[in-house]
Structure 1
Amino acid sequence: MISNKKSILALSVASALVLSGCFSDDDDNVVVPPPEPTDPVVVPPESSDPLTLVISANVVDRASNDIVPSTIRFLEGGAVSSNIVNVDGNAITSLSDDEGAFVFTKKDGAELSEVTIRVSAEGYFSKDFTVALETSGDSTAVNTLLPIVAKTGDDVSDTTVEASVGTDGTTTSEIVAETTGKAGASAKIPSGVVLQDADGAAISGAVSLNVSGADSNSSAAALVLPAGLNAGNDSGNILQAIGVSNVVMTAANGKKVKKFSSPITVSMSIPAGKKVNGVEVKTGDMLNLRSHNEDTGVWSAEEQMVTVGELNEATNTYNGTFQTDHLTFFAVTRNEPRCDAGVIINTSGASVPNTGLLVTMQSSDMGELFAVTQDGNTTLLTGPQSSRVRVSATATASIRVFDFSNNTWFQSNGEIPVCGTFDTPLTNPVTLVSENVSITATCTNDSTVSTPVPAAVVRYAQGSSSRRAAGNAGGGTYTLSDMVQGQTYTVSVKPRIANATGLVTATITADGTAETINVPVTCSVVTGA
Structure 2
Amino acid sequence: MITTKLKHAALLAALSLALTGCFSGSPNPRTDGGGDGGGPTEPTDPVVVAPEQPEALAVVVNGNIVDAGTLNVLESATVSFRENGAASDSVATVNGEPVTQITVEEGSFSFTLRDGASPDVVRLLVTADGYFPKAFNIDFTSGEAEIESLLTLVAQAGDDVAVDSAEDDVTDATTGAAITATADSANAGAEATVPAGTQLRDSAGNAVTGTSVTLNVGAINPQSNSSGSAIPDGLSSGVDGQVAVPVGVVDVTMRDNEGTNIKSFSNPINVSMRLPASTLGPNGVDPIETGDEFQLSSFDEETGEWAIEDTNAVVGALNGAGTAYTASFETDHLTLFSATASSAVCTSAFLANNSGDTGGIGGYVLFKSSTGNTAQRLPRPFTSFTIPSIQLQRAGVSATGQAEVSVIDPLGGIWYESDGLVQICGGTLNARLVNPLATTFDEAVTVTAVCSNDDDVRTNVANAEVKYRETGSGSIRATARGVSGEVGSYQLVGLNADTDSYTVSVNPRLEGVAPFTQTITPDGEDETIEFNITCPTVTGTGTGGG
Q: TM-score surpassing 0.5?
A: yes
Match of 1:469 in 2: 479
Q: Does 1:228 align with 2:238?
A: no
Q: Does 1:483 align with 2:495?
A: yes
C-alpha separation in 2, matches of 1:150 and 1:307: 28
Match of 1:388 in 2: 394
C-alpha separation in 2, matches of 1:200 and 1:330: 20
1:90-126 Cα shifts (integer Å, max 9, x gaps): 1111111231211111112322243211111111111
Match of 1:198 in 2: 203
C-alpha separation in 1, matches of 2:454 and 2:293: 77
Q: Map 1:317-332 onto structure 2 (within 5 A).
A: 317-332=324-339
Cα 1:282/1:41, change in 2 over 3 Å: same
CA contact (8 A) 1:164 1:204 kept: no
Cα 1:9/1:305, change in 2 over 3 Å: closer
| TM-score, length of structure 1 as denominator length | 0.91
Q: Does 1:445 align with 2:453?
A: yes
Letter in 2 for 1:155: D
Q: Secondary structure at the match of 1:282?
A: coil
Give the paired residue count: 518
C-alpha separation in 2, matches of 1:252 and 1:315: 41
Match of 2:531 in 1: 519
- The alpha-carbon deviation at position 207 of structure 1 amounts to 1.9
Match of 1:311 in 2: 318
Q: Does 1:116 align with 2:120?
A: no
| TM-score, length of structure 2 as denominator length | 0.88
Q: Which of these residues, 131, 139, 155, is aligned with residue 160 of structure 2?
A: 155
Match of 2:68 in 1: 62
Q: Secondary structure at the match of 1:506?
A: strand
- The alpha-carbon deviation at position 32 of structure 1 amounts to 13
Cα 1:7/1:459, change in 2 over 3 Å: closer
Q: Which of these residues, 443, 448, 452, is aligned with residue 435 of structure 1?
A: 443
CA contact (8 A) 1:398 1:412 kept: yes
Q: Secondary structure at the match of 1:311?
A: coil
Match of 2:190 in 1: 185
Q: Secondary structure at the match of 1:410?
A: strand
C-alpha separation in 1, matches of 2:460 and 2:330: 63
More strand by share: 1
- The alpha-carbon deviation at position 13 of structure 1 amounts to 6.1
1:374-406 Cα shifts (integer Å, max 9, x gaps): 5343122x2233233332222222211111222
- The alpha-carbon deviation at position 457 of structure 1 amounts to 1.3
CA contact (8 A) 1:244 1:269 kept: no
Q: Secondary structure at the match of 2:318?
A: strand
Q: Secondary structure at the match of 1:414?
A: coil
Bigger shift: residues 81-90 or 180-189:
180-189
- The alpha-carbon deviation at position 10 of structure 1 amounts to 7.0
C-alpha separation in 1, matches of 2:97 and 2:372: 36
Cα 1:36/1:434, change in 2 over 3 Å: farther
Unaligned runs of 5+ in 1: none
Q: Does 1:256 align with 2:254?
A: no
Cα 1:3/1:398, change in 2 over 3 Å: closer
Aligned residues: percent identity?
A: 35
- The alpha-carbon deviation at position 160 of structure 1 amounts to 2.0
Q: Secondary structure at the match of 2:89?
A: coil
Cα 1:22/1:7, change in 2 over 3 Å: farther
C-alpha separation in 1, matches of 2:314 and 2:532: 65
Cα 1:141/1:134, change in 2 over 3 Å: farther
C-alpha separation in 2, matches of 1:433 and 1:6: 39
Letter in 2 for 1:152: A
Q: Map 1:283-298 onto structure 2 (within 5 A).
A: 283-298=290-305
Q: Does 1:74 align with 2:81?
A: yes
Bigger shift: residues 77-86 or 382-391:
382-391
CA contact (8 A) 1:115 1:132 kept: yes
Cα 1:322/1:45, change in 2 over 3 Å: same
Q: Which of these residues, 506, 509, 515, is aligned with residue 493 of structure 1?
A: 506
CA contact (8 A) 1:74 1:84 kept: yes
CA contact (8 A) 1:174 1:188 kept: yes
C-alpha separation in 2, matches of 1:170 and 1:328: 20
Match of 1:507 in 2: 519
1:285-336 Cα shifts (integer Å, max 9, x gaps): 2222111111122111111121212222448111111001111111110011
C-alpha separation in 1, matches of 2:120 and 2:440: 31
CA contact (8 A) 1:55 1:133 kept: no
C-alpha separation in 2, matches of 1:326 and 1:390: 26
Match of 1:300 in 2: 307
C-alpha separation in 1, matches of 2:87 and 2:228: 25
C-alpha separation in 2, matches of 1:2 and 1:343: 48
C-alpha separation in 1, matches of 2:131 and 2:19: 68
Match of 2:32 in 1: none
Match of 2:429 in 1: 422
C-alpha separation in 1, matches of 2:385 and 2:164: 42
Q: Secondary structure at the match of 1:222?
A: helix
Superposed CA RMSD in Å reads 2.7
Match of 1:457 in 2: 465
Bigger shift: residues 390-399 or 260-269:
390-399
CA contact (8 A) 2:19 2:540 kept: no
- The alpha-carbon deviation at position 203 of structure 1 amounts to 0.9
C-alpha separation in 1, matches of 2:82 and 2:158: 28
Cα 1:312/1:22, change in 2 over 3 Å: farther
CA contact (8 A) 1:359 1:372 kept: yes
- The alpha-carbon deviation at position 476 of structure 1 amounts to 1.7
Q: Map 1:1-80 onto structure 2 (within 5 A).
A: 16-22=21-27, 38-68=44-74, 69-80=76-87
Q: Does 1:237 align with 2:252?
A: no
C-alpha separation in 2, matches of 1:10 and 1:392: 67
Cα 1:100/1:33, change in 2 over 3 Å: same
Q: Secondary structure at the match of 1:223?
A: helix
Bigger shift: residues 415-424 or 79-88:
415-424
Q: Secondary structure at the match of 1:475?
A: coil
Bigger shift: residues 360-369 or 325-334:
360-369
Q: Secondary structure at the match of 2:393?
A: helix
